[in-house]
Structure 1
Amino acid sequence: MDAKNQHSAISTAGLLIALGIIYGDIGTSPLYVMKAIVPGQIDPLLVYGGISCVIWTLTLQTTVKYVLLTLNADNNGEGGIFSLYALVRRRGAWLSAVAIIGGAALLADGVITPPISVSSAIEGLETLYPGIPTVPIVIGIIAGLFLLQSFGTQIVGKAFGPIMFVWFGMLGVLGVNGVMHHPEILKAFNPYYAYNLLVNYPGGFWLLGAVFLCTTGAEALYSDLGHCGKGNIRISWVFVKSCLVLNYLGQGGWLMSQQGQQLAGRNPFYELMPEWFLLIGICVATLAAVIASQALITGSFTLVAEAIRLNMWPKVKLNYPTDVKGQLFVPSMNRLLLLGCIGVVLYFRRSENMEAAYGLAITLTMLMTTILLSQWLRSKRVPLAVIGLFVLVYGTIEGSFLVANLIKFPHGGWVSLLIGGILVSVMYVWLRAYYIKRRLTEFVKIDPYIEPLKELSADESISKYATHLVFLTSAERPSEIESKIIYSIFQKRPKRADIYWFVHVDTTDEPYTMEYKVTELAPDDAFRITFRLGFRVEQKINLYFRKVIEELVRNKEVDITSRYESLSKQHVTGDFRFVVMEKYLSVENDFPTVEKIVMQAYFYIKQFIASEDKYFGLDTSSVKVEKVPLVISPVREVALERTF
């Protein structure tokens, strides 16, 4: 089966995985959406209009935009805003800003989702035990979830699918029960009720901010495309959407049975449950909320790993706790998310307060996805009229959601925008600093230095630095090398070695590329190895380099036996030593203002993260990190006078 068919293949296991991985966020939205739409007196116009808005939002936003259209924009089977950016980034440098805003907003959403999902579930206990302190329980569950991340989620993940199947089945059954109490609620399928709410109900338009909560998890369908495949997502979505719509209709049926009364803090979701089932329902809801949180945490880790390889995030340590493809653990992001989630719980305390912070950031992600998707459609030569219609329709829908969500800003929306703003700043600084450093790195032709390298290798008057000396180089052309590396070999301290290796890592726009190319610069004296690794591939350069050497030895292309006479007789393999050039900000600089701020911020952040040798997976016992000055622009004139 080829990759394309495999990506579209449908299986029972795949459908269960899809239920467990990607529908946690959107699947737990019935816990809080209707409570947010109808906060006070129960009005038929509000109930019918609110449910109609939810049904058509799920249809237009989730089904049409994401399930039917966006899933087609896969990058070798992988999805998500950075995968989409990798597909279209050659169409304009400005698209990096779009990807940064979208990615940062998605990460900010990951700080709000666990608190609101778990709080909404746990607050159901108040129906049985009034006055129970929910905040400590919520913090305990969230802290436990984050502490488990370092062990990987392979074992727990196998249980996610069946649990979510039970959850959606419960949503559907409860929904049918609620509809039977007020069958007229089925009229909410008519979009007229949505129009009537937005136009004729006082402040109706601003309720879109609450309606939007029903589709916040739509971006996860696309982000987790690589885990499930578009075929499994599309089939499972039919079941998921049916259960969601039934539950919203059921909540509407119960609300209409209470017409004219005040909701008074009650949650329509739990009111659908018979009293004997309430504790069971709360337990299932809590499990579903934990799974929703897990999906956002895993998605955040993947997003950060992709951002690193696209030069949009500091090169922080990445761990791979299991052998499952794509599963990783980012310790620094895990700590930041944990602190962020606990801070949100302590600040807002109640799920209804968190609703104000939730949704505002994710509308920005969806708008950015729409922009990138329009560029992808252009690359596929879709007629401009069709692209224009797509941008008009979804620009209007998502723009309306964004404007409606802005009313949340003073009530808590500023929290998600503040978090997103900080993340945007870090991403901007890192990407801008990458381009500044690349512009100012001086490259020289390597050919004039081949003979000197051979002579240095044979010069026994200089003590040998290593048998094999390996430099990481950023030079994209095999014919070039950084002048700093030449300086390090010949001048800083002459580094005599039997064989010089220059290793370059090229990150591709495809997710899982794993290729290498060997260029012989001087027989038995100098080689260059270029690795082409996908933006989702773990950077285990030490391991990959060793595998390449083994291949070269098998093919008799290189002899790695030590050239010390006594060791050569014993056929002892020579030692390998890596040299990593780490830049620091030189004091000899005359900065343009913007670049000064960017580079100062860059080096400030850099002091809190691990060095590059750890990121590249190098064996620290055989690595030499050399500090080299980064001179942005030397001071042109120095007012210095000689005195006699």
Structure 2
Amino acid sequence: MAEKRHPLTDEPHTLTANKHPHTAISAGGLLIALGIIYGDIGTSPLYVMASILKNGRVPDLVEASLVLGGISCVIWTLTLQTTVKYVLLTLNADNNGEGGIFSLYSLVRRRGKWLAAVAIVGGASLLADGVITPPISVSSAVEGLRAVYPDIPTVPIVIAIIAGLFVVQSFGTQIVGKAFGPIMLVWFSMLAILGGMWIVQNPAILKAFNPYYAYELLVKYPSGFWLLGSVFLCTTGAEALYSDLGHCGKGNIRISWTFVKSALLLNYLGQGAWLLQHQGQQLDGRNPFYALMPSWFLLIGIGIATIAAIIASQALITGSFTLVAEAIRLNMWPKVKLNYPTDVKGQLFVPSMNRLLLLGCIAVVLYFRESVNMEAAYGLAITLTMLMTTILLTAWLLAKRVAKPLVVGFAVLYGIIEGAFLVANMAKFPHGGWVSLAIGGTLMAVMYVWLRAHFIKRRLTDFVKLEPYANKLIELSNDGTIPKYATHLVFLSGAERASEIEQKIVYSIFQKRPKRADIYWFVHVENTDQPYTMEYKVTEIAPNDVLRITFRLGFRVEQRLNLYFRRVIEELVRNKEVDITSRYESLSKQNVTGDFRFVVLEKFLSVENELPFMEKVVMQAYFYIRQFIASEVQYFGLDTSSVKVEKVPLIISAPQNVTLTRIR
């Protein structure tokens, strides 16, 4: 018996063909989770305590209240923010096994248009964080070499590592990714062992588990509240736990987080134990993380830290690609070219975003030069992302009909926690925080323009009923006085209803240049809120003469219309629903298949417009940005040899009062 295959992809058809399988708990899954998810949060011990001490009352002076309070704040931030909010609560808000702020938005967007603004702020802030994370992670690791080589120039080394990291993105990370898990296992084991060694020597640091020390630091220590900006750095990678849900599954994430959190706490406590032994001393720029290492192990430890920092950067880069792909399907980002370098489901490469991130990371390294300076820019943007996730999660809890007192309690608790972090991080604004906000603000502007322009165009695009034109299309097809344009003529349509078509398409077929064809195809792509939907529907407007195909594709499905359209045609031919043999008499006798030609209508802003000021600004910005991005032909994966692009004017609001006076 022949194996049944999926009609769109020609892959074996299974019950899970339309959804991403939720990864089962396994040793392999746990190892993969270590490599994919925890790079950012796992490398935070490199700089968190150094940042807290730097921002103390007397910078670099070791004070017992500062050490115990700082460690206590870290412990309870990891517990409340990462464990409770993300690992226990947010992971439940999965979209067919997928996570991330745009997946969460897809689940709740019908509850209010204003939630789009929340998703835009959160998504843009997360992308901005992607420009800061690679420089600070790699710089923090490489600067450890100064303990051995005090005068070594670190900036060229950091730029070289980051440049190499972005260059390899186009090849995919399937092979490299298999090594991530074991390396991160070594990294977290090293964190735990180094920390444990010092805790044994000075167990007094265990008092930091008492939240009173955190309270004392924030309330009684001079400027203690503003240290939250440094404390927050310990949880900046928490959003990745949710964003990468689809790669590992919530079970693997929850179990592996137990190990990761234990390793992180041991290391933080170990750094605290070492610091307590140096009370009253100036650190003079020494990083307490590297101070835990025996001298013979220092170079090895720096090497492992550098590799872990690279993995942290890699995870955030690929996460940014996924975020952009999701934003495109939600009409929040230009339809840029997407590549799929490997066969791994969900792995993709966005060339334009890769270039932007590379330039942004190099600019950050050259501007700040030192990781301690980058800390001023780091954390502010991701605080906004976490706040936006809290708002969307509150909407999701309400949609799930969770008891309102519990929902209100959640919103108030995390509103206060993240609001406090945001206020504390705002102190970083004049010292470099403006960089991440400027990057995030630019990205928010692009997302706003794209989404607003989408709604403006959709609202004012003229649609007409397709059925009245069916007979006219058949007559045109049989009119031998008009040269045949193509055997099969395929138009991409934005009409959501199968019974409608854009007026511009009718104009293109009958008036701009009569386009005679044997069969007219109208293809519409509908993006679903589920990540991996792959469905299609065929509507016969006129049997074997005028047909419409509607593809329902998930927001993480690659747009390969050439392939999908061909698969559907093969299915229709097998079922004898359509005859694609050429209707030229000489070719029909030989059963020659006719040619297929796609027509893509590319709009431009007509000069015949009178727009309100804001809509004019939005549309001008929209068409300006479009000059620098790939065309729809590339985005939809169409074969350029069989595509005709037609320019059509977009008249959004025509002038109403035009008075001309005839003179003689």
Matched-pair contact (CA < 8 Å) for 1:7–1:231: no
Give SS of 1:581's match. strand
CA-to-aligned-CA distance 1:93-112 (integer Å, 9 cap, x gap): 00000000000000000000
Describe the shift of the 1:623–1:148 C-alpha distance in structure 2 as closer, same or farther (beyond 3 A): same
For residue 34 of structure 1, the aligned residue among 40, 43, 49 is 49
One-letter code of the match for 1:432?
A: R
Aligned residues: 644
Distance 1:236 1:637 in 2: 68
For residue 178 of structure 1, the aligned residue among 194, 198, 202 is 198
For residue 21 of structure 1, the aligned residue among 3, 21, 36 is 36
Distance 1:605 1:2 in 2: 41
Q: CA shift at 1:33, angstroms?
A: 0.1
One-letter code of the match for 2:504?
A: K
1:78 aligns with 2:93: no
1:409 aligns with 2:429: yes
Q: CA shift at 1:7, angstroms?
A: 2.4
List aligned pairs for 1:248-287, cutoff 5 A: 248-287=268-307
One-letter code of the match for 2:198?
A: G
For residue 9 of structure 1, the aligned residue among 7, 21, 24 is 24
Q: Which residue matches 2:210?
A: 190
Q: Which residue matches 1:574?
A: 594
Q: Which residue matches 1:554?
A: 574
For residue 441 of structure 1, the aligned residue among 452, 461, 472 is 461
Give SS of 2:540's match. strand
Matched-pair contact (CA < 8 Å) for 1:441–1:482: yes
Q: CA shift at 1:180, angstroms?
A: 1.9
1:587 aligns with 2:602: no
For residue 540 of structure 1, the aligned residue among 553, 560, 565 is 560
CA-to-aligned-CA distance 1:137-176 (integer Å, 9 cap, x gap): 0000000000000000000000000000000000000000
Distance 1:380 1:425 in 2: 32
One-letter code of the match for 1:25?
A: D
Q: Which residue matches 1:507?
A: 527
Q: Which residue matches 2:417?
A: 397
Describe the shift of the 1:613–1:127 C-alpha distance in structure 2 as closer, same or farther (beyond 3 A): same
One-letter code of the match for 2:94?
A: D
Distance 1:484 1:294 in 2: 44
CA-to-aligned-CA distance 1:582-623 (integer Å, 9 cap, x gap): 110000011100000000000000000111111000000000
Distance 1:310 1:438 in 2: 14
One-letter code of the match for 2:597?
A: R
For residue 67 of structure 2, the aligned residue among 21, 24, 47 is 47
Matched-pair contact (CA < 8 Å) for 2:102–2:323: yes
CA-to-aligned-CA distance 1:354-389 (integer Å, 9 cap, x gap): 000000000000000000000000111001110000
Give SS of 1:48's match. helix
Distance 1:331 1:92 in 2: 33
For residue 418 of structure 1, the aligned residue among 438, 445, 466 is 438
For residue 325 of structure 1, the aligned residue among 345, 359, 370 is 345
CA-to-aligned-CA distance 1:530-587 (integer Å, 9 cap, x gap): 0000000001011100000000000000000011111111111000000011110000
Distance 2:338 2:627 in 1: 17
Give SS of 1:582's match. strand
Describe the shift of the 1:602–1:181 C-alpha distance in structure 2 as closer, same or farther (beyond 3 A): same
One-letter code of the match for 2:631?
A: S
For residue 160 of structure 1, the aligned residue among 170, 180, 204 is 180
Structure 1 residue runs of 4 or more that deviate by more than 4 Å after TM superposition: 1-6
Distance 1:264 1:401 in 2: 28
Q: CA shift at 1:177, angstroms?
A: 1.0
For residue 229 of structure 1, the aligned residue among 236, 249, 259 is 249
Distance 1:156 1:639 in 2: 69
For residue 346 of structure 1, the aligned residue among 366, 386, 397 is 366
Output the TM-score relative to the length of structure 1: 0.99
Matched-pair contact (CA < 8 Å) for 2:21–2:97: no
One-letter code of the match for 1:29?
A: S
Distance 2:124 2:327 in 1: 10
Matched-pair contact (CA < 8 Å) for 2:20–2:97: no
Matched-pair contact (CA < 8 Å) for 2:67–2:275: yes
Q: Which residue matches 2:3?
A: none
Give SS of 1:566's match. helix
Q: CA shift at 1:640, angstroms?
A: 3.4
Q: CA shift at 1:264, angstroms?
A: 1.3
Give SS of 1:382's match. coil
Q: CA shift at 1:284, angstroms?
A: 0.1
One-letter code of the match for 2:72?
A: S
Distance 1:210 1:262 in 2: 19
Distance 1:72 1:186 in 2: 32
Give SS of 2:22's match. helix
Where do 5+ consecutive residues of structure 2 fail to align? Answer: 1-13, 55-59
Distance 1:172 1:359 in 2: 25
Q: Which residue matches 1:216?
A: 236
Q: CA shift at 1:637, angstroms?
A: 2.4
Q: CA shift at 1:636, angstroms?
A: 1.8
Q: CA shift at 1:8, angstroms?
A: 6.1
One-letter code of the match for 2:293?
A: M
Q: Which residue matches 1:526?
A: 546
Matched-pair contact (CA < 8 Å) for 2:20–2:531: no
Matched-pair contact (CA < 8 Å) for 1:181–1:257: no
Distance 2:73 2:487 in 1: 70
Q: Which residue matches 1:464?
A: 484
1:483 aligns with 2:498: no
Q: CA shift at 1:632, angstroms?
A: 1.3
CA-to-aligned-CA distance 1:325-367 (integer Å, 9 cap, x gap): 0000000000000000000000000000000000000000000
Q: CA shift at 1:2, angstroms?
A: 8.6
Describe the shift of the 1:509–1:573 C-alpha distance in structure 2 as closer, same or farther (beyond 3 A): same
Distance 2:498 2:374 in 1: 54
Q: Which moved more, 1:517-526 or 1:418-427?
A: 517-526
The alignment-based identity, stated in percent, is 79
1:240 aligns with 2:260: yes
Q: Which residue matches 1:144?
A: 164
